[in-house]
Amino acid sequence: MFDNRNRQKNIIIVSFLIIPTILLALFVIYPLFKLFYLSFTDWDGMSKTIGFVGTNNYIDVFKDNDVWVSLRNNGIYFVIHLMFIPIEMFIAFLLDDKVRFSKTFKGIVFLPYIINGVAVAYMFSFLYSSQGGVLNEILALFGANPVKWISSEETVNFSLSAVSIWRFCGIHIILFLAGIQSISKEMLEAARVDGASSFKVFSKIVIPNIRTVIEIILFLNVRGALMIFDIPFVMTSGGPGTSSTTFTLYTIQQAFKYSHFGKASAMAVVLLVMIVILSTIQKKIISEKR
Amino acid sequence: MKLFKRVSVLLCVTLIIGILGVGCQKKEDKKEKEVSQEVSKEASEESKENKDASEDKKPVTLTFVSWNEVGYEYLTEINNVSEAYKKEYPNVTIKVEQIQPTEYDNTMKIRNSANQLPDVFLVRASNLLTYKDIMVPLNDLEATKNNNIATDCALDGNVIGIPQGSFNEFVYYRKDIFEKYDLDIPRTWDEFVDTAKTIKEKGEYIPLLLGGKDSWTTYPFNEYMPLLEANDGKYLNVMASKDEPFTEGEPFYTAYTKIKNLYDSEVCGDDPLGYGWDQQKAMFLAGQGAMLAAGQWFAQEYDTMGGKKEEELGIFILPVNDSKEQPLNVITTAEGFMGTPKTSKHIEESKEFINWFFMSDYYKEYIDYTQQLSTMKGVSADIPFFNEAFEDIDLEYVVYDAGNEEYKRIADTISFDMKGMGQEMLSGKDLEKMMGDMNKKWKAARNK
């Protein structure tokens, strides 16, 4: 009887493991290998014949000036989001219980994240528009000159980053909040009884205790900044010229506009490697401080 | 534990055998399918006229995809194509799908890589080369033989699509604004720029609406003017035969100097890169701008938006010429090449549908509604609105050709994007530097 039950248990375990393993192999491992394979070919996305070109695509990626321009644009998103992380952390700390109607505020800060990215981009397109755009109309009320929010090479990436901040701040704050709420209340109360200021509590107790959340958010920041696509795609299509083209947008342009599926695959592999390297460096820095 | 191991091994072995089995089966199926396809193709060609009536009645659904919004409205609402086709082919249902024009090319390429192309779809003129090997040749169709353009666009002797229509490019202007300022229709490039400057000086309207946030809106200038300047629809092929086609004196350089002159006059508003096509259309409809450059297709779109083109709009041909004595070059584009891919499960039915579309009365009704020029022999569209632009003018038609394989190779290598260059020019980029950089890149790509 006992043997039978054990056997059944094992069969169920094995069956349950095999299905996800097959799915993983089919939809993750196989496409990944296919991606690596295509990155060494000259496939144009249409023809049946695929030629092997060795590392030419990777050399092309590194030699292509527009790749570096797009990476610089990604860098702007990365730095701006990074600068906002302490602010997001502090807002989460305040929302923990210090603010009246904090639950309502939590809902409000989380709202932009659940709105569809394309809708957000369209919404901001109208805000930034040079013809009757809300922001320029507000500036006009104060007698200020209109700003070329998305049509000037100098401002376009900052305008787009602001949209990204607006959209993703909420999820960061909610994650920080979850981390802060996991800290024992006794520890925080003891610090306050000992006379620690809010800033001291925040820097000496809260931050060290939410390192794991910080690591996750830093990883999300690296991944998000390097993979940003929908906002520039909808709002500027990477323009004017290539001034707001991001790495992912350029990869898609290479694949579909210029029929370089091989080079686009190589760029996707480079992106993967960059995310792994940058995340590892960030993790090391945080671990050393621990 | 032993039992656990045995069960695991057994399951793994079963799985591997299963996968291999399915794989082999698939291969055999594929071979059988290829052989049977060849046999059935031969058989169908031989006995096309003696088809068994019962086979004809097999229910078939053909998917038909296009990007044309006005066309979609006609095919599905105004005069349902499926219902019209069913009158002659009761067993065939046509399922029409429309994809946003800006997403169309990417979507179709993704569908192609996933082997999910529809039975019938439209290929853009600029993409004919890309789809060359995956489309069924339509050489034997009556519709091909009776088309004015299809055989000229054959690739390696094969017609892979029949153009749904052709259209010319115009400058649309608001009659009320031109009347208010007593402006004449410009007949030379300088007159055109002067007209725009005059409207700008009055300070009431944007002289030339150009929503440069969507880069494609610059195409009447940045993409077509080099061809008009060269008076050669195949000018892109000429460019591909030269090392430095962006040098002073070359048609491309001359055309871009003229465009730069226009853009630098700031006649497209304070910040043309800050608004896109949708706003451009809305502003034109609201009477905020005086002129707009677009193809024939815009006329129907204007009416669909609630405008009254006959009362409100006038049109003229973009005058790229330097003197009135020269004939006016006007670009003509054959567009929407209707074809069927080799992956379709209903190739014969798709070919029959394509043939019917062009050979039946439905075609004339379609082009009348979509305001396109006919590509079929003996069929002319009823579009009097456009006659005004051709009155008393010595015209020379420049038939647009999207470039040969060598041009495409060079353009793809250096990511050559004329509409993107238009955006850069609108943002004030130095033309000399731009042309110099292009020469270097072009030469390097040519010799690669």
Per-residue DSSP letter, B147: B
- Is pLDDT at B15 greater than 80 in this prediction? no
Chain B nearest CA to A161, separation (Å): 17
What is residue B54's three-state secondary structure?
helix
Pinpoint the alpha helices (H) of chain A.
Answer: 2-24, 30-38, 56-63, 65-97, 102-114, 117-128, 134-141, 156-181, 185-193, 198-200, 207-209, 211-227, 230-235, 247-252, 261-289
What is residue B340's three-state secondary structure?
coil
Q: Distance (Å, rounded) from C-alpha B324 to C-alpha A36?
A: 59
Question: What residues of chain B lie within 8 A of the CB of A44, using their CB?
Answer: 130
- Cβ–Cβ gap A7/B11 under 8 Å: no
Per-residue DSSP letter, B162: E
- Would you say B270 and B144 are in contact if contact means Cβ atoms under 8 Å apart? no
> If you average pLDDT over residues B34-56, what whole number do you get?
47
- pLDDT tens sequence across B68-96: 888 999 999 999 999 999 999 999 999 99
pLDDT confidence bin for B35, thresholds 50/70/90: very low
- pLDDT tens sequence across B278-332: 899 999 999 999 999 999 989 988 998 999 999 999 999 999 999 988 889 999 9
| Separation in Å, CA B204 to CA A165, A239, B193, B267, B290 | 38, 29, 17, 12, 10
Which is nearest to B172 in space by CA: B369, B322, B308, B324? B308
CA angle B164-B167-B170, nearest 5°? 160
Q: Distance (Å, rounded) from C-alpha A266 to C-alpha A281?
A: 23
- Would you say A258 and A281 are in contact if contact means Cβ atoms under 8 Å apart? no
**pLDDT at residue A46, rounded to an integer:** 81
pLDDT confidence bin for B272, thresholds 50/70/90: very high
Which is nearest to B389 in space by CA: B170, B207, B167? B170
Tokens 């509604």 identify what position?
B369
Q: Is A47 on the interface with B (CB under 8 A)?
A: yes
- Cβ–Cβ gap B272/A45 under 8 Å: no
Which is nearest to A232 in space by CA: A161, A133, A143, A170? A161
Chain A nearest CA to B373, separation (Å): 28
Render the burial of B113-137: b for 16+ CB within 10 Å, e for the rest. eeeebbbbbbbbbbbbbbbbebbbb
**Residue B171, H or E segment:** strand B162-174
Q: Is A260 on the interface with B (CB under 8 A)?
A: yes
Pinpoint the alpha helices (H) of B275-331.
Answer: 277-285, 298-304, 309-312
B312 vs B18: which has the higher pLDDT: B312
> If you average pLDDT over residues A82-88, what whole number do you get?
93
Question: What residues of chain A lie within 8 A of the CB of B113, using their CB?
Answer: 45
- pLDDT tens sequence across B390-421: 877 888 899 999 999 999 999 999 999 999 99
- Is pLDDT at B9 greater than 80 in this prediction? no
Ordered by where they begin, the domains of chain B are: 57-165+335-382 (3.40.190.10), 167-333+385-447 (3.40.190.10)
- DSSP letters of B369-407? HHT-B--BTT-----GGGHHHHTT--EEEEE-----HHH
> If you average pLDDT over residues A4-21, what whole number do you get?
87
> If you average pLDDT over residues A19-48, what whole number do you get?
91
**pLDDT at residue B448, rounded to an integer:** 80
Question: What residues of chain B lie within 8 A of the CB of A47, using their CB?
Answer: 133
- Cβ–Cβ gap B112/A46 under 8 Å: yes
Question: What φ, ψ does residue B88 adopt, rounded to 5°?
Answer: -105, -30
Chain A nearest CA to B94, separation (Å): 26
- pLDDT tens sequence across B146-205: 999 999 899 999 999 999 999 999 999 999 999 999 999 999 999 999 999 999 999 999
What is residue B335's three-state secondary structure?
strand
**pLDDT at residue B387, rounded to an integer:** 83
> If you average pLDDT over residues A188-216, what whole number do you get?
88
Chain A nearest CA to B23, separation (Å): 14
Q: Is A265 on the interface with B (CB under 8 A)?
A: no
- Cβ–Cβ gap B427/A153 under 8 Å: yes
Which is nearest to A126 in space by CA: B281, B209, B276, B269? B276
Question: What residues of chain A lie within 8 A of the CB of B275, using their CB?
Answer: 129-131
Chain B nearest CA to A167, separation (Å): 22
- pLDDT tens sequence across A56-72: 999 999 999 999 999 99
Residue of B nearest to A126 (CA): B275
- Cβ–Cβ gap A148/B271 under 8 Å: yes
pLDDT confidence bin for A2, thresholds 50/70/90: low
Question: What φ, ψ does residue B160 adopt, rounded to 5°?
Answer: -100, -5
Nearest to A240 among B133, B273, B288 (CB): B273
Nearest to B420 among A46, A47, A241 (CB): A241
* A–B CB contacts, 8 A cutoff, strictly below: 107
What is residue A190's three-state secondary structure?
helix
Which is nearest to B119 in space by CA: B146, B143, B94? B94
Chain A nearest CA to B385, separation (Å): 30
- Cβ–Cβ gap B133/A256 under 8 Å: no
Q: Distance (Å, rounded) from C-alpha A24 to C-alpha A36?
A: 17
Which is nearest to B378 in space by CA: B400, B358, B403? B358
- pLDDT tens sequence across A229-287: 999 998 998 988 889 999 999 999 999 888 899 999 999 999 999 999 988 888 888 77
What is residue B324's three-state secondary structure?
coil
- Is pLDDT at B43 greater than 80 in this prediction? no
